[in-house]
Amino acid sequence: MFPLTSILVTTDFSDDARNAVRRAALMAAGHRARLSLLHVVDPPALKGPRAWFASQAGIDHKVSVARAMLDRLVAELESRYRVQATPVVRVGRSLEQVCAAAAEADLLLVGSKRVNPLRSSMLGTPTEQLVRLVRRPVLVVKREAAQRYQRVLVAVDLDTAFGDMLHSASALAPGADLHVFHALSTRRADRMRMSGVPSEVIREVSDSERQRGAARLQSMLAAIGHAGAQVSVDHGDPRVLTLEMQHTVDADLIVLGQDGASALCNFLLGGVPRRVLSAATCDVLVMPKLAQGEGARVPARRTWLDSGPASLPRGLSS
């Protein structure tokens, strides 16, 4: 198992954030990792209907209140989980401050919270924006942290690296059942159907593709030390199938990687991570995109990527 030494969790003191804080505490206790609790005071959020800029006194008051609330959370975690946490309050744009703080951590945890549906449909929720911008694994917590993860679904693409995803899943959920899933393209079957190929032939070809895909996936898993994982392969939209598989295997954690699409396309249109983050009913771990050519042959100890935070698009704020 790789050493997970530093965990950062953000909180706005909502119920969703509290679940994330408790999950972070469970993980910090299990890995004996350093735990930091971050709250960001965003000055633009302090603007009132009659004031264009928040006064320094108002900011100082918000900082003081946040520190008191963080201190209470720290005391709760020490009593309940026997872990010591460091409270951190920063002032500035939320996304910038979280990205900067995450650069010093091995793992970032955030609560799932959807606000402002119109804005979220274009730019994504603050959680989705963080997943795109932070160059660290991000664990989005959606459920109450009652126990360790028991069943983990890892959605993989056979043409990209997934060794880190498997190692991370094993490390975050030691002893959990691992189920590895891959979605095959339907393009070949669609072309055959449009060409008038009999349905029986299409079924035979599709069955053969699934068998070859499962065999290839099992071989790749064995090569990286995960031969015991359960394997599923099917044809269809990876977004839809991943969500269906979550319910089929009753997963309490989904692990997936960033899309391989261009940054602009991913930013405006979203993709598999965004759809799963939005619709999944369990926690989701999103791994950052790996360097080209690393493949599934990722060394077992190299799991958390050592790169800085991505630059923020101009004018983007939480």
Least confident of 77-91, 210-224, 301-315: 301-315
Amino acid at 55: S
**What is residue 248's DSSP assignment?**
H
pLDDT of residue 160: 66
In a domain, 62, yes or no: yes
Position 312 in a domain: no
Q: Tell me if 309 is assigned to some domain.
A: no
**231 and 155 co-located in one domain:** yes
- At 22, is the secondary structure helix, strand, or coil? helix
How large is the average pLDDT for residues 173-196? Answer: 93
Same domain, 136 and 240: no
Answer positive or negative: Cα dihedral of 100, 30, 288, 40.
negative
Question: Do 230 and 261 belong to one domain?
Answer: yes
Residues 224, 299, single domain; the answer is yes
Pairwise CA distance, residues 281 & 247, whole Å: 9
The answer to whether residue 53 sits within a structural domain is no
For residue range 235-282, list pLDDT tens digits in order.
Answer: 999 989 999 999 999 999 999 887 543 333 343 334 567 788 888 999
Three-point CA angle 309, 143, 312, nearest 5°:
20
* Cα(258)–Cα(290) distance, integer angstroms: 9
Q: Which of 104, 129, 144 is the last residue of a domain?
A: 144
- Say if residue 97 is in the same domain as residue 183: no
CA–CA gap between residue 159 and residue 23 (Å, rounded)? 32
Give one word for 265, left, alpha or beta, with left for phi > 0 and alpha for psi -120 to 50: alpha
**What are 5-47's pLDDT values in tens digits?**
999 999 999 999 999 999 999 999 999 999 999 999 988 655 5
Residues 214-218: contacts with CB under 8 Å, at least 24 apart: 216/158, 217/156, 217/158, 217/180, 217/182
- Are residue 29 and residue 5 in the same domain, yes or no? yes
- Tell me, what's the pLDDT at 10? 95
Asked if residue 86 has pLDDT above 50, the reply is yes
Is residue 231 domain-shared with residue 284, that is, in the same domain? yes
Residue 73 lies in a domain: yes
pLDDT of residue 287: 86
Secondary structure E strands in the chain: 6-10, 34-41, 85-91, 107-111, 138-141, 151-155, 177-184, 230-235, 253-257, 283-287
Three-state DSSP at 30 gives helix
Residue 310 is given by DSSP the state P
Alpha-helix residue ranges (DSSP H) falling in 82-196: 94-102, 117-123, 126-133, 163-172, 187-194
- Asked whether residue 127 falls in the same domain as residue 196, the answer is no
Answer whether residue 50 is part of any domain.
no
Does residue 210 share a domain with residue 94? no
- Count the helix, strand and coil residues of the chain and give each as a percent rounded to the nearest 5: 45, 20, 40
Within this chain, do residues 181 and 67 fall inside the same structural domain, yes or no?
no
Kindly report the CATH number assigned to the domain that includes residue 131: 3.40.50.620
What predicted TM-score, i.e. pTM, was given to this entire model? 0.81
Same domain, residue pair 123 and 155:
no
Q: What is the pLDDT of residue 114?
A: 56
> 176 by DSSP, 3-state: which?
coil
Note down the domain range covering 243: 147-303
At 297, list the tokens: 């042959």
Say whether both 293 and 153 belong to one domain.
Answer: yes
Number of domains, the chain: 2
Closest CA to 134 of 41, 69, 45, 38: 38
Is residue 68 within a helix (H) or strand (E), and if so which, with residue range?
helix 56-81
